[in-house]
Amino acid sequence: MLEQETEKAAAGDYLIDACEFKGETAAGIAFNGIDFKNTVFEKCRFTGCDFSKSSFLNTTFSFCDFSGCVFENTYWKNSRILNSKGDRADFTDSYLKDCRI
């Protein structure tokens, strides 16, 4: 489901809104520039994915693994990363407002 939503977002307005992803696995996917709004990721595993220049509004990552992913120049507002693993994840120049990490 995540891959299909990503393809639709890339073909349209680059927005994934009000979605819930559980137990998804993504490797090497370019999520860059996609905006995530009111979205929940639970027990998902991302390997080497690129989220650069994306935004996360009211988005939650819980029990996820995004080790080695790139989150450069991302914008986060009212979002949470809970009980997740992000070894070697790159958050360079990211802006977090009212977030819980």
Query: pLDDT of 49-90, one tens digit each?
Result: 999 999 999 999 999 999 999 999 999 999 999 999 999 999
Establish if 31 belongs to a structural domain.
yes
What's the CATH number where 27 sits?
Answer: 2.160.20.80
Establish if 39 belongs to a structural domain.
yes
Residue 55 DSSP one-character state: E
Establish if 70 belongs to a structural domain.
yes
Q: How far apart, in whole angstroms, are the C-alpha atoms of residue 50 and residue 72?
A: 9
Residue 20 domain boundaries: 2-92
Establish if 42 belongs to a structural domain.
yes
Contact 61, 81 (CB under 8 A): yes
Query: pLDDT of 9-37, one tens digit each?
Result: 988 899 999 999 999 999 999 999 999 99
Closest to 100 measured CA to CA, from 66, 76, 73:
76
Establish if 68 belongs to a structural domain.
yes
Number of domains in the chain: 1
Q: Is 42 left (phi over 0), alpha (psi -120 to 50) or beta?
A: beta
Establish if 44 belongs to a structural domain.
yes
